[in-house]
Amino acid sequence: MDKKTVLVTGGAGYIGSHTIIELLNTNKYEVISADAFFNSSPRAYTQIEEITGKKIKQYEINLCDKKKAERIFLENRIDSLIHFAAFKAVGESVEQPLKYYHNNMESLINMISLCNQYGVANFIFSSSCSVYGNVEKLPVDENTPIPQAESPYAHTKQIGETLLQHVCKQHPAFNAVALRYFNPVGAHHSAKIGEWALNKPNNLVPLITGTAIGKYNLTVFGNDYPTRDGTCIRDYIHVSDIAQAHVLAVHYLLDKKNTSNFEPFNLGTGAGVSVLEAIAAFEKVSGKKLNYKIGARRPGDVIAVYSNSSKAFNLLGWSCKHDINSMMKTAWDWELYSKNRTD
């Protein structure tokens, strides 16, 4: 049987690289990656090859440059595209909104229009739970109203989804799925690949593991929230579970199982974990006591958010394989493996 070809943009990044591994493991797909290494390193491809035994074709291209990006479509027959490439730091997006609107919108518009031009019918878009903002009713499902965005970053995801809906309406043969991730954490079980952020992370798990090796100092922002232990609750989800959902979304679109040509899906475990519970899980799996301090509440932090992901379960046949201990264990193994890396 002929293999289908999947173009993965942002394939050297955190979620993209894990998704490429899962796609290759099916033996059903040829994978092409396009990345400009703004927040990643070409070393991701070496690690993918070490893990899977397969070498992939890759392009170093800024996808905001449509002429250069077109080369990928001219040189390959692509069946599906997974669009990860974007900037993702919420705080930075508040400080530099234009940087985020330029990069996240231009690269997306170029990818959609090249898909339309070259007859690529299946598009999977990396969206985010940030589209829901501050929710009042939990858990969050796909019918939860989308309010005004809290940050330029979240706004680029909201606009991205709306844009896709309009294009889908206009082009009935074009099919899109938006996957709204909750809080991706952890690393591949081999520990050879994980989140390789070039800048200091803002998210809890890399801060916990980084604090444990003396790279950072963790502050827990607020322990007086109305939650079971006073700290904020989030829906952490293992990156390999997220990656697996992309493989299922590719199958779903290629097998024409979608009933509408634009469909959003939440990807979360459905189980909220507090900051102190995450720290306790880390201490349990690493056998290390974590030094951290309790600070004041941080402006803008939501008290609790977690997902109802039954739509992905029912329609994509997806479920999470990893619990918080496995998320922490793989994150810790990856921290130890990569701590002396300099590229």
- Applying CB under 6 A, the residues found at the interface with ligand NAD are 10, 12-16, 35-40, 62-64, 84-88, 103, 107, 126, 128, 181, 184
In angstroms, the Cα distances linking 213 to 241, 243, 336 are 26, 27, 8
Which residue carries 């995801």 as its tokens?
A: 157
Of 146, 145, 173, the C-alpha closest to 160 is 146
Please identify, using beta-carbon distances, which residue of 148 and 199 lies nearer to ligand NAD: 199
Q: How far is the CB of 65 from ligand NAD (least distance, A)?
A: 8
Please identify, using beta-carbon distances, which residue of 146 and 294 lies nearer to ligand NAD: 146
Which residue carries 């991205």 as its tokens?
A: 160
Over the Cα atoms of the chain, what is R_g? 19
Q: How far is the CB of 243 from ligand NAD (least distance, A)?
A: 10
Other C-beta atoms closer than 10 Å to the C-beta of 174 total: 20
Q: How far is the CB of 153 from ligand NAD (least distance, A)?
A: 7
In angstroms, the Cα distances linking 69 to 14, 64, 169 are 21, 8, 25
Q: How far is the CB of 101 from ligand NAD (least distance, A)?
A: 12
* Selected catalytic residue, list 153, 225, 236, 292: 153
Cα 25 off chain centre by: 19
Nearest residue to ligand NAD by CB is: 13
Please identify, using beta-carbon distances, which residue of 133 and 184 lies nearer to ligand NAD: 184
Between CA 294 and CA 152 the distance in angstroms is 29
Of 162, 187, 182, 165, the C-alpha closest to 174 is 165
Please identify, using beta-carbon distances, which residue of 104 and 122 lies nearer to ligand NAD: 104
Among this protein's residues, is 225 annotated catalytic? no
Contacts of 121 (CB under 8 A, 6+ apart): 79, 80, 115, 173, 174, 175, 253
In angstroms, the Cα distances linking 112 to 23, 125, 166, 318 are 21, 10, 11, 26
Q: How far is the CB of 104 from ligand NAD (least distance, A)?
A: 7
In angstroms, the Cα distances linking 20 to 7, 24, 37, 150, 319 are 10, 6, 16, 31, 19
Query: For the chain, how many residues are written?
Result: 343
Please identify, using beta-carbon distances, which residue of 68 and 214 lies nearer to ligand NAD: 68
Q: How far is the CB of 62 from ligand NAD (least distance, A)?
A: 5
Q: How far is the CB of 302 from ligand NAD (least distance, A)?
A: 14
Contacts of 28 (CB under 8 A, 6+ apart): 3, 4
**DSSP letter string over 79-107?**
SEEEE--S---HHHHHH-HHHHIIIIIHH
Please identify, using beta-carbon distances, which residue of 65 and 288 lies nearer to ligand NAD: 65
Please identify, using beta-carbon distances, which residue of 18 and 311 lies nearer to ligand NAD: 18
- Report CA torsion sign: 71, 77, 83, 84: negative
Q: Catalytic residue positions?
A: 153
